[in-house]
Amino acid sequence: MKIAVMQFPGTNCEYECLVSVKEVGMDGELFRWNRPAAELSAFDGFIVPGGWSYADRIRAGAIASKEPVMDALREEAAKDKPIIGICNGFQILVESGLLPGTTGNGKVEMALAQNVMISDKKIVRRGYYVDWVNIKHDASPRRCSGSFNLNRGDLLQIPIAHGEGNLVTMEKSLIQKLNDEGQVVFRYCDCNGRTTPEFPVNVNGSTENIAGICNPEGNVLGMMPHPERAFFAWQLPSHDPRKHQKGAVGPGRKIFESMKRYIEVTA
């Protein structure tokens, strides 16, 4: 079970993703964007990590989405192999048309626009934001490769770090379609799972608090929070009692365990 962790110029946290992959018992290696794209077919799953690919030139994910390696990734997605895009990886998957992928023709159906934090109907903040956030798993179990082991309503506390995570779309029926088809995987919520639209619960102004979505088949997941930064208990914030608890693990581990389980079940 071998996972390719994609690496574009400007990617970060790829090493954390690789460690996470190996910690849950999968094999993995970094896959640089300029390697022969056909070599991707030797892998069982893929992670597109976060960062600033190509320095976010034009807009986040736009340049990386044009790389030949993304055409190869599209072919691998069609084979039902799991792909998890994290933060900038999510942005790349959106710009390449892999997510939400409801038309099946690679059309760019949504954008992850600049953060707009709204409270009491006023814009209170804009731009890059870093924090630990609560997200709720809003899909059914086994719906999506990256949340395969999660139940509906499960809460995870995972950090975010982005300036462009505000999901917007001009496709009028898209959000309804995503809801109807169970493609909304994660929503920003408070510590009790309530999804109020206001900052700081909705950290970036994203439509319907959406933090992560999958494609119709469920094998491709994009999420703005960084599970690899919450994989080990020692990565948790100091106020979290699990941080110093013996044997505790971080909530982000579940994303990688889910990917492994998805591959086991679908192989």
Q: Which of the ranges 12-20, 113-121, 220-228, 237-245 carries the binding residues for another protein, by CB under 8 A?
A: 113-121
Task: Please report how close the Cβ of residue 126 comes to another protein at its closest, in angstroms.
Answer: 4
Q: Which of the ranges 39-47, 64-72, 192-200, 259-267 carries the binding residues for another protein, by CB under 8 A?
A: 64-72
Pairing state between β 122-126 and 116-119: antiparallel
Q: Give the residue from 14, 86, 12, 83 showing the smallest Cα distance to 52.
A: 12
Each residue 68-97 as x (binds another protein by CB under 8 A) or -, in order, gives x--------------------------x--
How many binding residues for another protein (CB under 8 A)? 25
* Spatial distance between the Cα atoms of 78 and 210, rounded to a whole number of angstroms: 24
Of the residues 59, 74, 177, 243, which one makes contact with another protein according to CB under 8 A: 59
Q: Which of the ranges 53-61, 147-155, 250-258, 259-267 carries the binding residues for another protein, by CB under 8 A?
A: 53-61
Of the residues 170, 191, 239, 247, which one makes contact with another protein according to CB under 8 A: 170
67 contributes a contact to another protein by CB under 8 A = yes
Each residue 10-49 as x (binds another protein by CB under 8 A) or -, in order, gives ----------------------------------------
Distances in Å between the Cα of 111 and the Cα atoms of 100, 135, 167, 199, 226 are: 10, 20, 6, 20, 19
Strand ranges in the chain using DSSP code E only, listed in sequence order: 2-7, 27-32, 45-48, 83-86, 111-113, 116-119, 122-126, 129-137, 155-162, 166-168, 184-189, 210-214, 220-223
Q: Which of the ranges 79-87, 164-172, 218-226, 251-259 carries the binding residues for another protein, by CB under 8 A?
A: 164-172
Of the residues 19, 22, 141, 169, which one makes contact with another protein according to CB under 8 A: 169
* Spatial distance between the Cα atoms of 116 and 91, rounded to a whole number of angstroms: 17
Q: Give the residue from 237, 230, 265, 234 showing the smallest Cα distance to 251.
A: 230
Q: Which positions are catalytic?
A: 87, 226, 228
End-to-end CA distance of the chain: 10
**Nearest to another protein of 54, 256 (CB atom):** 54
Task: For 84-151, give the DSSP string.
Answer: EEETHHHHHHHHTT-SS-SSSS-----EEE--EEEETTEEEEES-EEEEEEEEE-S-TTSSGGGTTPP
114 contributes a contact to another protein by CB under 8 A = yes
| Contact set with another protein (CB under 8 A) | 54-55, 57-59, 62-63, 66-68, 95, 108-111, 113-114, 116, 123, 126-127, 168-171
